[in-house]
Structure 1
Amino acid sequence: MKMVIVDKANEGKKLFRYIRTLAPSMKNGEIFMSIRKGKIKINNRIEDQGYILKNGDVVKIFFPDEIIKKYTDNDRNKYRSIDSNIDVIFEDKDIIVVNKPAGILVHPDRREFKKNLVESVKAYLYKKNEFKPGDYFTPSPCHRLDTNTSGLIIFAKTHFALQKISTLFRERNGDKLYLALVFGKISSSILISSSIDASENKENKVAVKEAHIHNFIPEKSKFIEENPTLSATYVRPLKYDSRLSLVEINLWTGKKHQIRASLAAALHPLIGERKYYTSQSLSLSQMLNVSNYYLHCYKLKINGYEEFKAPIPKKFSQILSEMFKIDAAKL
Structure 2
Amino acid sequence: MQLKETHISKKNTTPVRLQEYGVGVFQQISTKSALKKAIKKNLLLVDGSIATTATLIAGGEVIEYHHPLENEAKTRLLLKLEVVYEDDYIAVINKPAGILVSGNNFKTVANALYQNLKMSSAEDAVSPQPCHRLDYATTGLLLIGKTSTSITKLNRLFERKEIEKIYFAVTMGAMKETDHIDLPIDDKPASSSYQVLKSVISERFSFLNLVKLSPHTGRRHQLRKHL
TM-score, with structure 1 as normaliser: 0.50
Q: Is 1:12–1:54's contact at 8 Å kept on the other side of the alignment?
A: no
Q: Is 2:88–2:120's contact at 8 Å kept on the other side of the alignment?
A: no
- Check 1:56–1:250 CA distance in 2 against 1; reply closer, same or farther (3 A cut): same
Q: Is 1:5–1:56's contact at 8 Å kept on the other side of the alignment?
A: no
- Check 1:137–1:184 CA distance in 2 against 1; reply closer, same or farther (3 A cut): same
- Superposed displacement of residue 180, structure 1: 0.8
- Check 1:53–1:13 CA distance in 2 against 1; reply closer, same or farther (3 A cut): farther
Q: Is 1:91–1:97's contact at 8 Å kept on the other side of the alignment?
A: yes
Q: Deviations over 1:112-161 (max 9, x none)?
A: x3310111113433xx3339xxx874433222211111111111112322
1:118 aligns with 2:110: yes
Cα distance in 2, alignment partners of residues 122 and 95 from structure 1: 13
Aligned to 1:183: 172
Give the percent of matched residue pairs that are identical in Structure 1 and Structure 2. Answer: 29
| Correspondent of 1:91 among 86, 94, 102 | 86
| Correspondent of 1:129 among 115, 119, 134 | 119
- Check 1:41–1:245 CA distance in 2 against 1; reply closer, same or farther (3 A cut): closer
Aligned to 1:6: 8
Aligned to 2:96: 101
Aligned to 1:316: none
Corresponding residue SS for 2:102: coil
Within-5 A mapping of 1:294-305: none
One-letter amino acid of the counterpart of residue 12, structure 1: Y
More helix by share: 1
Cα distance in 2, alignment partners of residues 177 and 60 from structure 1: 38
Structure 2: which 5+ residue stretches go unaligned?
A: 11-17, 30-36
One-letter amino acid of the counterpart of residue 189, structure 1: T
Aligned to 1:232: 191
CA RMSD for the aligned pairs? 3.9
1:139 aligns with 2:148: no
Cα distance in 1, alignment partners of residues 212 and 174 from structure 2: 14
Cα distance in 2, alignment partners of residues 123 and 249 from structure 1: 33
- The structure with more radius of gyration: 1
- Superposed displacement of residue 60, structure 1: 6.2
Q: Is 2:99–2:109's contact at 8 Å kept on the other side of the alignment?
A: yes
- Check 1:259–1:164 CA distance in 2 against 1; reply closer, same or farther (3 A cut): same
More strand by share: 2
Corresponding residue SS for 2:94: strand
Corresponding residue SS for 1:85: coil
Aligned to 1:56: 60
Q: Is 2:39–2:52's contact at 8 Å kept on the other side of the alignment?
A: no
Aligned to 2:13: none
Q: Is 1:108–1:115's contact at 8 Å kept on the other side of the alignment?
A: no
Structure 1: which 5+ residue stretches go unaligned?
A: 22-28, 198-208, 210-228, 264-331
